[in-house]
Amino acid sequence: MQHIIGFLLVSLSLFALPAEADSLTTGFVYHPDYLLHDPGAGHPERPARLEAIVSRLQQRSLLDTLHTINAQSVDHAWLAEVHTEAYLSHLEQAVKNAPVHLDPDTGLSSDSVRVAKLASGGVLAAIDAVMAGDVDNAFVAQRPPGHHALPDRAMGFCLINHVAVAARYVQKKYGLRRILIVDWDVHHGNGTEHMFYADPSVFYFSTHQSPYYPGTGAATDTGSGDGIGFTLNVPLPAGTGDANLMRVFETKLVPAMEAFQPEFVLISAGFDAHRDDPLAAFELTAEGYSELTRIVMEIAAKFARGRIVSLLEGGYDLDALASSVEAHIRTLSGGPEETN
Ligand SMILES: [Zn+2]
C-alpha cells in the first residue's frame, strides 16, 4: 500500500510540475548612490562598472524579471562583528579629509564610507529577502568591493568586507550555523580568509591566479586551530580557463561540501577572471561563469534550500563584466542562457 501511495505522490508531483518549474525568483540589489564612491581619476574600480551592468540588464529585458530589493545603510553593530572599532572610527575620520588614500590602491571620496555602508546594507537586505522567502536567491550590484578588507585595515579597493559581515549576519540573525563563502574573484580574498581562518563554521573556498596580488592563498593554508580544514585555497596559473576552473569546482568544492553541508551560500562574485579583464590573466568566459554558478546552485539546492546571495567584487572590463553578470543572473534565475 505504501508503495502505491508513494507511486501516486510521485506521479501527482510530476504532473503538477508547471512548464516553468525551473524558473526561480532572483532578487536584485542596486542603489544609485553606489555610483558616488570615487577612488580617483583613472581608477579601474569606477562607477561605470555598475552603469554597464544595469544598462545591460535593461537592454536584455532581464531587469524587469528580477525582484527589486531596497538597500539601507548597515547598522554599526554588524560591521563591528568583523572589523575593529578603531578601524571603523579611522574610516569615519579619514573620509572627512577626502579625497584621501588609505593605501596606494584604495582612495576615498567624500561619500565613500557612506556608500560602503549602504553596500553592506544591500547585502543584508538580500539575505533578509532570501530568508523571508520573497526570493530564491539574489545578486547585489554594489561597490566598493570588500574581500581584501582586513579587520583593521582597508586594502585593494576594499573598505568594508561585505561578505564577512554577511556571514556573521546569517549566523547571528537567523541562527544558521554553517556558511559557505565561494570566492571566484581572480584575486585571493585575503581579508575574508583572515576573518574566518580559525572558525569551523564559515567555510572559505577561493580560486585565484597565482602568483599574483595579494600574494596570499597558498594551497597549504587550510585554516588554524578549530578552523583547520575549513579554508580551501586553489591557486591556479595564468591562462586558467572555463574547463579547468569547472573541474576544480567539481573535484574540490563539491566533495568538500558533501562533508560540510552548508546552510547558506555566499558568493564573492568577482568577474575579473574573465579573459578580457585588464587586471589579470585568467581566460574565463561569460559561459564559464554560468557553469560555476550552476555548480554552486547544485550545492545550495542540496544542502541550503537553494539559499544563495551573490555580491559583486572585481571585474574591470565593462563589456566582460556586463555579459558575465548577465550570464550569472540568468543562471541564478533558472532562465535560458542567451549571452554573447
Ligand atoms: Zn579581483
Q: What is the CATH number of the domain that holds 295?
A: 3.40.800.20
Kindly report the pTM of this predicted structure: 0.93
| Number of alpha carbons in the 13 Å side-chain half-sphere of residue 66 | 28
Position 335 scores a pLDDT of 64
Q: pLDDT class for 153, splitting at 50, 70, 90?
A: very high
CA 253 to centroid of ligand 1, rounded, Å:
20
**Residue 279, pLDDT score:** 97
Q: How far is CA 115 from CA 31, 69, 111, 269, 319, in A?
A: 9, 16, 6, 19, 24
247 within some domain: yes
Cα of 12 vs centre of ligand 1, distance in Å, is 47
**Distance between CA 183 and CA 275 in Å, rounded?**
17
Instruction: Give Rg (Cα) of the chain.
Output: 20
In sequence order, which ranges of the chain are alpha helices (DSSP H)? 2-16, 48-59, 76-79, 85-94, 112-132, 162-174, 190-195, 242-248, 254-260, 286-303, 318-332
Q: List the grid coordinates of 64.
A: 524587469
Give the Å distance between the CA of 78 and the centre of ligand 1: 24
Residue 2 covered by a domain: no
Active site residues: 148
Using 50, 70 and 90 to split pLDDT, how confident is the model at 14?
Answer: very low
Residue 29 lies in a domain: yes
**pLDDT exceeds 50 at position 17:** no
Q: Is the pLDDT of residue 18 over 60?
A: no
Spatial neighbors of 1 by CB under 8 A, at least 6 apart, are: none
**Reported confidence tier of residue 336, pLDDT bands at 50, 70, 90:** low
Percent of the chain with pLDDT over 90: 91
In this structure, is residue 92 part of a structural domain? Answer: yes
Q: Is residue 18 part of a domain?
A: no
Please determine, for residue 189, whether its predicted confidence score (pLDDT) is greater than 80. yes
Cα(187) to ligand 1 centroid in Å equals: 4
Q: Is 123 domain-assigned?
A: yes
Angle between helices 318-332 and 48-59 (to 10 degrees): 50
Note the pLDDT of residue 11.
Answer: 46
What would the mean pLDDT of 126-139 be, rounded to a whole number? Answer: 98
Which pLDDT score is estimated for 174? Answer: 98
Is 19 a residue whose pLDDT tops 60? no
Task: Scan for cell 568566459, then name that residue.
Answer: 285
Average pLDDT for 276-295: 98
Please compute the mean of the pLDDT values over residues 57-72 and round it to a whole number: 97
Q: What percent of the chain lies above the pLDDT cut of 70?
A: 92
Helices (H), 66-111: 76-79, 85-94
Q: How far is the CA of 220 from the centre of ligand 1 (A)?
A: 21
| Domain-located, residue 339 | no
CA distance 164 to 266: 9
Ligand 1 midpoint to CA 184 (Å)? 9
Read off the pLDDT of each residue in 192-201 and give the average, rounded to a whole number: 98
Question: For the chain, what is the domain count?
Answer: 1
pLDDT tens, residue by residue, 75-125: 999 999 999 999 999 999 999 999 999 999 999 999 999 999 999 999 999
pLDDT above 90: residue 331: yes
Q: What is the mean pLDDT of the chain?
A: 94
Average pLDDT over residues 244-269: 98
Interval 186-198 mean pLDDT: 98
pLDDT band at 339 (very low <50, low <70, confident <90, very high): very low
Residue 136 has pLDDT above 80, yes or no: yes
Residue linked to cell 559561459: 287
Structural domain span for residue 243: 23-332
Please report the pLDDT score of residue 3 as a whole number: 54
In a domain, 15, yes or no: no
